[in-house]
Amino acid sequence: MSSAAPTAAPRRQLTLFDSTCIIVGIIIGAGIYESTPLVAQNVSNAGVLVLVWLLGGLLSMVGALCYAELATTYPREGGDYVYLTEALGRRTGFLFAWAQLWVVRPGSIGAMAYIFARYANQLYSLGDGHSALVVYAVAAIAVLTAINLLGIHEGRWTQNILTTVKFLGLAIVCAVGLFFGGTTERAAASRPTDITPDFGQAMIFVLFVFGGWNEMAYVGAEVRAPRKNILRALVLGTLAVTAIYLLANLAFLRALGFEQVRQSTDVAGEVLHQAFGRYSSRFIQLLIAVSALGAIQGMIFTGARIYYAMGRDHRLYAWLGRWNSRHGTPIQALLIQTLITLALVVGFGWTKGGFGALVNFTTPVFWIFFCLVSVSLIVLRYRRPELDRPYRAPLYPIVPLIFCLSCLFMVYASLSYAVENRSWEAFWSIAIMLAGVAMSCYDPPLESMTSGNRLLWP
């Protein structure tokens, strides 16, 4: 029997609550605490600050509606990989999986692990150097990967617990800022800043923090009642995160004022300090650490499914397309994902701008493929009108076009920022993509691509 056609396959075990927790758990990472001052530094006033967060939520909802159509039409493992392959061909699907394997997924996990490391080191210091942060980041990724290797049940329960804890924690921060904030003198309010607003950079950080609402599509083959629950999870998860993000920013502004938010290095900690004094620091450090762990866990869980789908179709990566029936997880895909991520964490972790460098590394490639997914929806509507679509994106083709144009703007903004600030990490990722183009030219298809429940390409 060919290794490319394993008998084990994913089973539908994820409930609506599990699916929503994956979305919320990945989106609400530590990024809201880390990025809010960075967003504020790139806008001119408090009103624009709230507006860009609202715009981020609206664009995320537009994207979620597009994904809802694709994910309910193709409820399979791999998400974007499946849609891009069906619409634009197997080479495009391969390039997406290649980008996820070498750039987007390890870069995103690494950025969140770097944030976890900073706050974990404040809770229990291993030293002041970058080596301490690298140790914490590596440990977090290794432990969470080990949990997922144990099986899908351990992975989803870990996700559900971490998501619930950090959602409640952020709700506490919002409540303190809205109802107990603004009672102390705002020391930073009168200090001028020499920051030049940059709307494009503000949106890069906002949409980075919103990133993850599409993650549930990668586990489509494991969702119960996918025709209903995929749509519900996408919409409920995106709406919940948009609401909590808007409340969080209103709480920060109410408690601290716009200028102090701009200059803060610990925005949530400063809010809680007004209500709980010196006891607040430990709480916020623990909350941010848990939030980062939840996002890391979700990205590890979903990311491995992409490489599993690629391994089912591409001869060079057939060894990744094996599903362990005992544990209900793609073990080889999880392991290779972890090895590449750890390499990036160690490499970028030694630089002072570890978090920012990893964001810049992943952003251009991430948005290029997001744009192509919106194109896939239009192509599949035209080429495959006979398909059963349990849900159709409203106001077609306006909604996918808005999504496509917003993605193109983000590609332009990220590359412009990289050039202006000499952030060459963004161009390293483009170089890796060019290597992927070369690899796709020497990758014959597997015989199993047209068998069973595999995709049927022309």
Mean pLDDT of all residues in the chain?
Answer: 83
* Residue carrying the six token digits 């530590």: 30
- State the pLDDT at residue 3: 41
Measured over the CA atoms of residue 127, residue 128, residue 131 and residue 134, the dihedral's sign is: positive
Q: Of 3-7, 109-113, 255-259, 376-380, which gets the smallest average pLDDT?
A: 3-7
**Domain membership flag for residue 4:** no
Specify the pLDDT at position 353. 57
pLDDT for the residue 167: 86
**pTM for the whole thing?**
0.83
433 falls within a domain: yes
Give the pLDDT band (50/70/90) at residue 357: confident
pLDDT at 10 over 80: no
pLDDT at 379: 95
Separation in Å, CA 78 to CA 7, 202, 277, 347, 454: 18, 30, 47, 28, 12
**CB-CB contact of 59 with 196 (8 Å):** no
**Statement: residue 7 has pLDDT above 60:** no
Q: Would you say residue 432 lies in a domain?
A: yes
Please tell me the predicted confidence (pLDDT) of residue 445.
64
Angle between helices 226-256 and 46-73 (to 10 degrees): 170
Q: What is the pLDDT of residue 81?
A: 92
What pLDDT is recorded for position 2?
A: 40
What letters, b where the CB count within 10 A reaches 16 and e where it falls short, cover 324-341? beebbbbbbbbebbbebb
Structure confidence at residue 195 (pLDDT) = 62
Residue 419 has pLDDT above 90, yes or no: no
Q: How many separate domains does the chain show?
A: 1
Q: Tell me the percentage of the chain whose pLDDT exceeds 70.
A: 90
296 is a domain residue: yes
Please say if the pLDDT value at position 414 is more than 70: yes
With cut-offs at 50, 70 and 90, classify the pLDDT of residue 253.
Answer: very high
Whether residue 72 lies inside any domain: the answer is yes
CB 272 within 8 A of CB 87: no
Q: What is the 3-state secondary structure (H, E, C) of 343-369?
A: HHHHHHHCCCCHHHHHHHHHHHHHHHH
Residue 454 included in any domain: no
Measured CA to CA, the distance from residue 202 to residue 192 in angstroms comes to 20
The pLDDT of residue 125: 86
In this prediction, residue 4 carries a pLDDT of: 42
Give the per-residue pLDDT at 404: 93
The model's confidence at residue 421, banded by pLDDT at 50, 70 and 90, is confident
**Residue 175 counted as domain residue:** yes
Residue 6 pLDDT class (50, 70, 90 cuts) = very low
Average pLDDT over residues 420-438: 81
Q: What is the pLDDT of residue 443?
A: 66
- Domain range enclosing 141: 16-185+197-444
List Cα–Cα distances, 402 to 67, 108, 233, in angstroms: 13, 25, 22
Rounded to whole angstroms, what are the CA distances from 349 to 114, 344, 346, 352, 381?
A: 7, 8, 5, 8, 44
pLDDT tens for each residue of 269-328? 888 887 777 777 788 888 888 988 988 998 998 888 888 888 888 877 888 888 888 888
The answer to whether residue 122 is domain-embedded is yes
* Tokens encoding 364: 């251009």
Instruction: Report the pLDDT averaged over residues 199-225.
Output: 83
- What gap in Å lies between CA 22 and CA 19, rounded to an integer? 5
- Identity of the residue numbered 251: A
Q: Which residue has the tokens 């301490």?
A: 132
The answer to whether residue 427 scores a pLDDT higher than 90 is no
Per-residue pLDDT of 141-191, as tens digits, reads 999 999 999 988 888 899 889 989 888 888 888 888 888 766 554 544 444
Within its chain, how far is the Cα of 221 from the centroid? Answer: 20
> Across residues 18-28, what is the average pLDDT?
85
The band of 446, judged by pLDDT with boundaries at 50, 70 and 90, is low
Give the closest residue to 296 by CA, choosing from 68, 2, 25, 74: 25
Q: What is the CATH number of the domain that holds 118?
A: 1.20.1740.10
CB 369 within 8 A of CB 80: yes
